[in-house]
Amino acid sequence: MMHCLAIRHVAFEDLGTFGPVLQETGFTIGYAQAGVDRLSPGEWDAADLVVVLGGPIGVNDQALYPFLAEEIALINARLAQGKPLLGICLGAQMIAAALGARVYPGRAKEIGWGDVVLTEAGHISALSVLEGAPVLHWHGDTFDLPQGATLLASTSVAPHQAFSLGKNVLALQFHPEADAARMDEWLVGHACELAYAGVDPRVIRADAEKHGAAAARGATAMLRTWLRDAGLMS
């Protein structure tokens, strides 16, 4: 069996809707809690797939959270090996940083359910199934497109929403893995951020109920396509 190592920064931002797809594909799943579990190079090397998940801290908070520097170093090593790597939100920002791109505060927080606009390359990528499909946005930082990367999706708030590097690396600023059925875990976990940003959790909850099924279908199809492209399933 293949093994997926998922790096988690807060408990409720896990693999979500991606978990069942990976298990059905034949993956075992192991979680490592950033800042708590020791992230060994051997474990990263042995994993068939590494997924670096989101969280409320930022790439530029390394002085406050030194483990971020360790994660970026491990990401850099995996990139050098050309092994499959998927980054979501903070994970995408760390991939961008490992590739030498600038990560910085966006011009506005982007929180809530909405679309992404696919680029020409995005239309022929695994993200093509997300055309017109809702996804969850939840970030304040953004990044420049790394050298050699292919831009796949944008929004008006964050022009760099997703990029790929070859067939084995995918970085997503948005959250296709978010399980709408568990939306209140996100709303409670990020209650202070929502209040500070002036975002009404009732709107996000209502949109999750409205868009959850379509979002899950899109996320499932996207992940399956990317796994095939990366040679992780037939």
SS3 content of the chain, % helix, strand, coil (to 5): 40, 25, 35
Contact criterion met (CB below 8 Å) for 4 and 32? no
pLDDT of residue 126: 97
Q: What amino acid positions are annotated as catalytic residues? A: 89, 175, 177
Q: Are strands 162-165 and 150-154 parallel, antiparallel or unpaired?
A: antiparallel
The predicted structure's pLDDT at residue 161: 97
The pTM is what?
0.97
Average pLDDT over the chain, rounded to whole?
A: 96
Tens-place pLDDT, residues 146-187: 999 999 999 999 999 999 999 999 999 999 999 999 999 999
Q: Is residue 234 very low, low, confident or very high in pLDDT (cuts 50, 70, 90)?
A: confident
Q: Has residue 40 got a pLDDT over 80?
A: yes
Residue 233's pLDDT band, with cuts at 50, 70 and 90, is: confident
Per-residue pLDDT, averaged over 36-62, amounts to 94
Residue 31: pLDDT band (50, 70, 90) is very high
Q: Quick one: pLDDT band at residue 69, thresholds 50, 70, 90?
A: very high
* DSSP annotation string for 121-174: HHHTSGGGGGTT--EEEEEEEEEPPPTT-EEEEE-SS-S--EEEETTTEEEESS
